[in-house]
Structure 1
Amino acid sequence: MCGIAGIVDFNKSLKGKRDILCKMVKTLERRGPDSEGLYDSNNVLLGHRRLIVVDPEGGKQPMIKIIEGKKYVIVYNGELYNTEDLRKELLEEKFTFDSYSDTEVLLTSYIAWGIDAIKKLNGIFAFAIYDEDKQQVFLARDPMGVKPLFYSKKGSTLIFGSEIKTVLAHPEVKAEIDRDGLTELFALGPAVSPGSAIYKGINEIAPANCMLVTKDNMKIWEYWKVKARELNETTDESVSHVRQLLIDAIKRQLVGDVPVCTFLSGGLDSSAISAIAADDFKEKGKRLTTYSIDYEGNDKYFKASLFQPTSDQYFAERMAKFIDSDHRTVLLKQEDLAHALRESTFSRDLPGMADVDSSLLLFCKEIRKDFVVGLSGECADELFAGYPWFTNEEMINANTFPWSRSVGERKTILNDNLKNIKIEELTNEEYLKTLKQVPHLDNEDKKTYRMRELFYLNLKWFMVNLLNRKDRSSMYNSLEVRVPFADYRIVDYAFNLPVDVKLLDGREKGLLRKALVGILPDEIIYRKKSPYPKTHNPIYTNIVCSMMNEILNDKASPILQIINKDKVQEIVDTKGESYKTPWFGQLMTGPQMIAYLIQVDTWLREYNVNILI
């Protein structure tokens, strides 16, 4: 797993710009601590930082391949899970290989099939390929958006990189946010609209999109999307189908020349991955290591809620015993959790999900001491109906994003200069725009129609945000995290499962539970869904309130240009109790909302963001 960067301009020479590329590549050291590589030509500069996972010698980048006198160069961040399938097909077409790396397979796939090669890939990736003969650069991002890719266009010059900070390292790109960006930050944040990066003049290639850059044009298009189709299967056949797809996806993602572990919360999704991985390890004479996260004092202060009905630690330990894994619990201190809000802002280059981000960042930091690759259970809830908004009638019928149903309240914390920003309007616009993209079948009943909308909204918004969080938090620590449920085959199949089948036996993720019978113990299979664990310790609330008070009392704090100081002070004084509605999703309630504002101030301050209002 790696980081990529590049500068492309087919209309003017880039000679003398190598130092700029070096600065861009330096921002990616955490994503790729093992080696660095540069490619320098008149019109294309490519840079790479590498985290070695497969083929230490043969996978070096930028990788150059010359066939029939034609030169092709690739920089690539990701993993292909159908590498051997593609290699076999390419060998049959008489191509040869100098390594066993997926990088060479990807580059050779492009040489063989051109830009249509993108349709053959199963994996997580962001890459750029320079085709010297055709004088074009082809960039692409994986279907679910597991791996990031940002860019900025300055005249005829394209500047791109794996992180926003990489693009900002170019002297022509400024850290600026205008009124539209602020509106998006407070209407949709911590999510971003597809293709946006909040900063003025910076965009991202959206999930399942690719870009072709030539002398005359820069074209972006969507190369993959879920399709609506009838599934003519019995329930038993669907159970078997899900089981087979999941086992195959997990086993494909256990490959590597470095140590592999799994995240294990004791919930259904991580337990399924860990159990299947543990069996695979045992067949090879190895023992799986699993990790869970907990917080000091949570055993004392945990409070059950609709969104978080049970604590994880008991179930994680039960599951670890069941699969006989070497289980390790990372116990986080409240002080560390609060102070890591700053680092988690650096990891995203934007405000994120508050302590949900900082805890994951610290968790990954501990795992990286012994492992380079981990498998995690993200995406199952979005695909198999794990959230309350798939079963709660009020949430199902909310005429907006179900995870942020009260965005109008966000405006109350903004100052008079921003009273008129169109928070509700932008939210509604993005919501309706997404609904227009949802594929449907003819004559769908009202319930099927609405549930298909909800699954698509989750796929394009909520899931992408969680995947962003996972990538930035893990790669900040040079840890590659793979997400088997994000396999596009599972996504495409799950999208077309009838909702009553997904909610088999009237349970959230009912079908997935049934598919795991015989793989997991009953107490795990029938456990009530519980999200990523957060701290319930009041010490954390006290710390973030103290941190926010320091910000409010510092006249130089940049966030004061945005917020209503008195309103935020009231929220802090009540320790978040006066702001009851979750800011985003299930976990960002009062203390987390305060932490989010700390991240906003950190971001504005540390990135020296120029606010254009």
Structure 2
Amino acid sequence: MCGIAGWVDWECDLTRQRTVAQAMTDSMACRGPDAEGLWLSERAALGHRRLAVIDLEGGAQPMAADRDADQVVLTYSGEVYNFRQLRETLRAAGHRFRTRSDTEVVLRGYLEWGESCVEHFDGMFAFAIWDERRQELLLARDRFGIKPLYYAVTDTGLLFGSEPKALLANPGFSAQVDAEGLAELFGLNKGRSPGHGVFRGLHQLLPGHTLRVERHGMHPTCYWRLGSHTHEDDLATTTATVRGMLEDIVERQLVADVPLCSLLSGGLDSSVITALAARGLQRQGMGKPVTFAVDFENSDAFFRPSSQRPSQDAPFVRLMADHLESQHTDVMLRPSDLAGQQEHTLGARDLPGHGDMDASLYLLCREIRRHSTVALSGEGADEVFGGYPWFVDQPPESMRNFPWRSTIPDIASLLSPDARQRIRLEEYVADRYAEALAEVPYLEGEAAADRRIRELSYLTLSHYLPLMLDRKDRIAMAVGLEVRVPFCDHQLLDYVFNIPWSMRTTSGAEKGILRAATADLLPSEVATRRKSGFPAVQDPVYDEQLMARLEGWLADRSSPLDDLVDRQHLAAMLQDETQAGVGWRRSRALAKNLLEIDGWMRRYQVRIC
């Protein structure tokens, strides 16, 4: 796992722009603390920061190979899990290897198969290849978009990087947001339009896509997309197939030349991954698994069950850790630990995030990084198997909008009427929803209920999951921790996406097919545990701190959001909830979002245009 950055310019001699190219590369230092490299030619600059995971001595980047007296140069982030098999295939085709790294497999894969090399790669990756002979740049991203890759078109070329900060380090790109970007932040909130970078002119390369850039234009290609087909397997075969696929996926993702651990929340998803990893490690003679969990001090005293978090993690974490005899560490946090973390989390994400949820994840990852370089995560199971409440509870309004928008407080309610009109918020969200539905790969002859589940699955995978993956990648890589997500495997997704809902929820349980496929791996209490969200601080001390920050914001007329937010409406909402004796549950969530956006605009000096 690494950080990449680069620049192509058809008019400027980039051999004279080393200082700027180095600044772009240096901005990725958090993603790659182990080594750095910069390659320059007249038309291209490729930078790399390395987090060494495989072949620690080899694999330095940017990596170059000669072809017809010209160089082909690669800067690459990620892991290709089938690199060993591909290396043998390429050797049989006449290629010679200097290293044991998957980086060289990617480079020689391009030399052998050209742009279609991505179709051979199984893993999480984002890379750029400059072909000096063709004078072409190739950008590529994995099928799920697990690894980020941003780009912006300039008057004379293109900038790219693993994170927006790489582009912001170049004078040719500035921190601006227009009405469309504001609509993404205030309208879509927990989701994000695929490919949209929020900053004006910033794009993300779409998952499963390549982008070929040459002097006369850009040529995007979709090399993978989710498809629909009739599911022919019976329940027993389906259960066995899911189990077999998961065993194979986790086994392949244990490959590392550095310490590896597992994130363990005591929920179904992380417990399944950890249990499968434990078996894989045992087969390889690598000892017991290493596990980590996060919790808050005195959480027992303040915990209040809710529909989103019906149970605490701690009892299930202990049960699972004892069951696997793992080398386990609980990372205990205090509310005061979260104070002051916004600078770190905003700096990690370059965009507004999830407030205290990001802060606790950051502190967890920071502690893990003291012991491990790679962590396995259960991220993606709810999206792949359909574990979110909106798959079951479908209020009428969810049929006309992205389903998760009915489950969270609407931050757009804080906008002034004038701002809503200028941003065209409702129209923007409706257009994005219509576009998303138009992409759904429907199955001919499908019943209405199954058709709606297919829509919900596709919307969740295409618009909700990317933001969750981006959060996990950016927060973890801010401290140099590589997180692998076995549930985000394209072959598993292609299979599960087409399992009928009645079979996916076998035994009447959420993610029933996953529970059935893995029940023998887990204690029964864990195997039957209902979904419970990421731990959130419930200590009144934190609420007091948040309220103080919000009151300070209401009194501060220098906020960059001053012309957008209806302060009187927010103040009245706080007063109404307090007088009603219900605390400030709704405005608490809104306050966190508002303060995140405000902090982001201040930190990056974002100009509204």
What TM-score, normalized to structure 2? 0.96
User: Structure 1 pair 449/367, CA: closer, same or farther in 2 (3 Å)?
Assistant: same
Counterpart amino acid of 1:205? L
Task: Supply the distance in 2 between the matched residues of 1:185 and 1:208 (Cα, whole angstroms).
Answer: 24
Aligned CA distance change for structure 1 residues 353 and 610 (closer, same or farther; 3 Å): same
2-structure distance, mates of 1:426, 1:539 = 38
Partner of 2:432, secondary structure, is helix
Deviations 1:380-405 (CA, angstroms, capped at 9, x unpaired): 01111111111124279532111112
Alpha-carbon separation, structure 1, partners of 2:401 and 2:54? 43
Is 1:541–2:543 an aligned residue pair? Answer: yes
Deviation (angstroms), 1:104: 0.2
Q: Deviation digits for residues 528-548 of structure 1, max 9, x if unmatched?
A: 111222122222111111112
For the pair 1:352 / 2:353, whether they are aligned, the reply is yes
Q: What is the match of residue 399 of structure 2?
A: 398
Q: Which residue of 2 aligns with 1:469?
A: 471
Q: Summarize the alignment of residues 291-302 of structure 1 with structure 2, pairs less than 5 Å apart.
A: 291-302=292-303
Gap regions ≥5 residues in structure 1: 583-587
Give how far 1:262 is off. 0.2
Report the counterpart of residue 520 of structure 1 in structure 2: 522
* Residue 509 of structure 1: aligned partner: 511
Q: 1:264 to 1:395 in 2, by over 3 A?
A: farther
Query: Which stretch has the larger CA shift, 438-447 or 418-427?
Result: 418-427
Root-mean-square deviation (CA, aligned residues, Å) is: 2.1
Structure 2: which amino acid aligns with 1:363?
L
Is the alpha carbon distance of 1:206 and 1:606 closer, same or farther for their aligned partners in structure 2, counting shifts above 3 Å?
same
Q: Corresponding residue for 1:4?
A: 4
Q: Which residue of 2 aligns with 1:379?
A: 380
1:559 is matched by which residue type in structure 2?
L
Matches of 2:548 and 2:449 in 1, distance apart?
47
Aligned counterparts of 1:551 and 1:158: Cα–Cα separation in 2: 38
- Distance between the aligned counterparts of 1:197 and 1:205, measured in 2? 10
Residues 305 and 577 (structure 1), Cα distance of their counterparts in 2 relative to 1, 3 Å cut: farther
Q: Which secondary structure state, in structure 2, belongs to the residue aligned with residue 293 of structure 1?
A: strand
Pick which of 29-38 and 336-345 moved more: 336-345
Residue-by-residue CA offset, 1:121-140 (whole Å, 9 max, x unaligned): 11111100111122211101
d(CA) in 2 for partners of 1:366, 1:573: 39
Matched, 1:595 2:592: yes
Please state how far the C-alpha of 1:10 moved relative to its aligned partner. Answer: 3.5
Shift of 1:224: 0.8
Amino acid at match of 2:376: L
- Is residue 495 of structure 1 aligned with residue 492 of structure 2? no
1-side partners of 2:430 and 2:85: how far apart?
43
Cα drift, residue 14 of structure 1: 2.3
Hey, what's the Cα distance between the residues in 2 that align with 1:285 and 1:411?
51
Counterpart of 1:561 in 2: which secondary structure? coil
**C-alpha displacement at 1:354, in angstroms?**
2.0
The 1:412/1:393 distance shift into structure 2, 3 A limit, reads: closer
Amino acid at match of 2:127: F
Query: What is the CA distance between 1:191 and its match in structure 2?
Result: 3.0
Q: Which residue pairs with 1:177 in the alignment?
A: 177
Aligned partners of 1:338 and 1:386: how far apart in 2?
Answer: 32
Tell me if the contact between 1:389 and 1:395 (Cα under 8 Å) persists in the aligned partners.
no
Q: Structure 1, residues 250-282: CA drift from partner, whole Å, max 9, x if none?
A: 111111111000000001110011111112223
- Return the offset for 1:462: 1.1
Contact 1:278 1:288 in 2 (8 A): yes
Task: Tell me the equivalent position of 1:319.
Answer: 320
With 388-397 and 411-420 compared, the bigger mean Cα shift is at: 388-397
- Partners of 1:576 and 1:368 lie apart in 2 by 41
The aligned amino acid for 1:512 is L
The whole-number CA distance in structure 2 between the counterparts of 1:577 and 1:25 is 53
Distance (Å, rounded) in 1 between the aligned partners of 2:600 and 2:286: 47
CA contact (8 A) 2:144 2:207 kept: yes
CA shift in 2, pair 1:476/1:285, >3 Å: closer
Partner of 1:585: none
SS, match of residue 33 in structure 1: coil
- For residues 12 and 538 of structure 2, what CA distance do their matches in structure 1 show? 57
Task: Give structure 2 stretches of 5+ with no counterpart.
Answer: none
Task: Between 257-266 and 329-338, report the one with greater CA deviation.
Answer: 329-338
1:110 aligns with 2:107: no
Indicate how the Cα distance of structure 1 residues 28 and 186 shifts in structure 2: closer, same or farther if over 3 A, else same. same
Q: Specify the SS of the correspondent of 1:558.
A: coil
**TM-score normalised by structure 1 residue count:** 0.95
Indicate yes or no: 2:592 matched with 1:606. no
Q: Say which is worse superposed, 141-150 or 552-561, in terms of deviation.
A: 552-561
**Residue equivalent to 2:430:** 428
Residue range with higher mean Cα deviation, 570-579 or 595-604: 570-579
The Cα shift of 1:222 comes to 2.0
What's 1:364 paired with?
365
3-state DSSP of counterpart to 1:147: coil
Write out the 4+ residue segments of structure 1 that deviate beyond 6 Å after TM superposition.
574-580
Alpha carbons 2:409, 2:590 under 8 Å: kept: no
Q: 1:554 to 1:396 in 2, by over 3 A?
A: closer
The 8 Å contact of residues 4 and 47 in structure 1, kept in 2 or not, is answered as yes
Listed as ranges, the matches of 1:70-85 within 5 Å are 70-85=70-85
- Change over 3 Å in CA distance of 1:402–1:54 after alignment to 2: same
For the 8 Å contact 1:291–1:327, the answer to whether it is kept is: yes
Distance 1:257 1:244 in 2: 25
Q: CA deviation at 1:41?
A: 0.3
Per the TM alignment, residue 576 of structure 1 is displaced from its structure 2 partner at its CA by 8.6
Cα-to-partner distance string for 1:544-603 (whole Å, 9 max, x where unaligned): 1111222222232222232112222344556799999x9xxxxx9542321221111111
> Which runs of structure 2 are paired with 1:432-443 in the superposition (5 Å)?
432-443=434-445
Q: 1:106 is paired with a residue of what secondary structure? A: helix
SS of residue paired to 2:114: helix
Q: 1:69 to 1:328 in 2, by over 3 A?
A: same
Instruction: Check conservation: 1:150, 1:162, Cα contact below 8 A.
Output: yes
| Cα distance in 1 for residues equivalent to 2:449 and 2:244 | 28
Cα pair 1:302 1:536 within 8 Å, conserved: yes
For structure 1, which segment, 562-571 or 465-474, has the greater mean C-alpha deviation from structure 2 after superposition?
Answer: 562-571
Quick one: which amino acid aligns to residue 219 of structure 2?
Answer: K
Asked whether the equivalents of residues 150 and 161 of structure 1 are also in contact (C-alpha less than 8 Å), the reply is: yes
Q: Which amino acid aligns with 1:405?
A: S
| Conservation of the 8 A alpha-carbon contact between 1:571 and 1:578 | no
Query: What count of residue pairs does the alignment treat as equivalent?
Result: 607
Following superposition, the deviation at residue 328 of structure 1 comes to 0.7
Contact 2:354 2:596 in 1 (8 A): no
Matched, 1:212 2:209: no
- TM-aligned CA deviation for residue 338 of structure 1: 3.7
Check if 1:273 corresponds to 2:270.
no
